Copies of this chain bind each other. A is one copy, B any other.
Amino acid sequence: MRRVMLTVAYDGTAYCGWQLQPGKETIESVLNRCLFELTGETIQVIGASRTDSGVHALGNIAVFDTESSIPAEKFSYALNRRLPEDIKIRASKEVAADFHPRHCGSVKTYEYRICNAAFPIPTKRLYAHFTYVPLDVSLMSRAAAYLVGEHDFKSFCSADTQAQTTVRQVDDIRVWAEPLTDVVTAGCILQGSADREKQRVTQTGKEIVIRVTGRGFLYNMVRIMAGTLMEVGRGKLPPERVKDILAACDRQEAGPTAPACGLTLVGYEFLL
């Protein structure tokens, strides 16, 4: 019997999250099914992070036990031939038989993406939350700095948590903007002008990325952080306000929970 670890990337759009749910298609149910087809064994993977419905991943982790003769490194290729296009294995390897991805220290990295433009961009809609309200990235960065370190994040946790403690350590938060492809439209040119350059209408928009690294997160913590930083970015809250929100230990003080589609679990590291 060997324990194999998978690095799993997926588009969460079509799934009811990671965790098994009766009668619903989840990342876990698809992995279990493909592993059964591949090995003939009834396999139940153990996931590192149970992402919510609609949340994406570039590198979630799952382990499972098998007696199959397939070399651990080959599971990635064998599974990818059976998996749907929106779930792919990026690496597979053998790990210690007693390794449990949720019973050891880990550092996770999440990205929350915001499409900040005058009009929604259809090709961005599945992986970035859209808002036409202009957001100030430098204000968001200043606010984010207050969230770094060990704090009681009760204000950034959905009420229905089962966590014993709401104290967590955030190692790093970075907020930056990436340019969106400019679009030259014909709009103004039709009015005729010698100076075409000046007449061009280009879509001036940006994609804002909030990248958070930390040792474990509370339920909806990153999405509530994103929702709060968006309130700061639009000028509704001053950056310093985040200090008071933390101190209040009250979910009502923080901003709304940002939509799932903008969230991607990008990386996972175990501290052994």
Residues of B within 8 A of A91 (CB): 119, 185, 187, 201
Taking a contact as CB atoms closer than 8 A, the residue among B86, B96, B190 that contacts A122 in the complex is: B86
Chain A interface size, under 10 / 10 to 19 / 20 to 34 / 35 or more:
35 or more
Residues of B within 8 A of A86 (CB): 122, 125
Tell me, in angstroms, the Cα distance from A9 to B126 when the chains sit together.
Answer: 15
Residues of B within 8 A of A186 (CB): 5, 7, 48, 61, 101, 106, 268-270
Count identical subunits in the complex: 2
Residues of B within 8 A of A122 (CB): 9-11, 56, 85-88
Tell me, in angstroms, the Cα distance from A120 to B91 when the chains sit together.
Answer: 11
Which 10 residue pairs of A and B lie closest in terms of their CB atoms, listed nearest first? A184-B267, A59-B183, A11-B122, A90-B119, A186-B270, A7-B185, A86-B122, A58-B183, A183-B267, A11-B123
Chosen A-B contacts, 6 in total, with CB atoms closer than 8 Å, are A85-B125, A86-B122, A87-B122, A111-B181, A123-B126, A186-B269
Taking a contact as CB atoms closer than 8 A, the residue among B101, B267, B272 that contacts A182 in the complex is: B267
Asked if A266 is an interface residue, CB under 8 A from chain B, the answer is yes
Asked if A192 is an interface residue, CB under 8 A from chain B, the answer is yes
Residues of B within 8 A of A126 (CB): 123, 126
Please tell me if the beta carbons of A264 and B123 are within 8 angstroms of each other in the complex. Answer: yes
Within the complex, the shortest CB–CB distance from A227 to chain B, in Å, comes to 21
Within the complex, the shortest CB–CB distance from A257 to chain B, in Å, comes to 20
Residues of B within 8 A of A61 (CB): 185-186
Tell me, in angstroms, the Cα distance from A10 to B80 when the chains sit together.
Answer: 29
Residues of B within 8 A of A181 (CB): 58, 111, 266
Residue among A48, A87, A182 with the highest chain B CB neighbour number at 10 A: A182
Residues of B within 8 A of A76 (CB): 119
Given A58-B181, A87-B122, A192-B272; 7 other pairs, CB 8 A cutoff: A5-B190, A80-B120, A90-B183, A99-B190, A109-B184, A111-B181, A189-B271
Within the complex, the shortest CB–CB distance from A209 to chain B, in Å, comes to 9
**A172-198 vs B, Cβ < 8 Å mask (1 yes, 0 no):** 000000000111111101101000100
Within the complex, the shortest CB–CB distance from A84 to chain B, in Å, comes to 9
Taking a contact as CB atoms closer than 8 A, the residue among B80, B184, B272 that contacts A190 in the complex is: B272
Please tell me if the beta carbons of B85 and A120 are within 8 angstroms of each other in the complex. Answer: yes
Q: Which residue of B lies closest to A192 (CB)?
A: B272
Please tell me if the beta carbons of B190 and A270 are within 8 angstroms of each other in the complex. Answer: yes
Please tell me if the beta carbons of B127 and A184 are within 8 angstroms of each other in the complex. Answer: no
Tell me, in angstroms, the Cα distance from A9 to B184 when the chains sit together.
Answer: 12
Within the complex, the shortest CB–CB distance from A259 to chain B, in Å, comes to 13
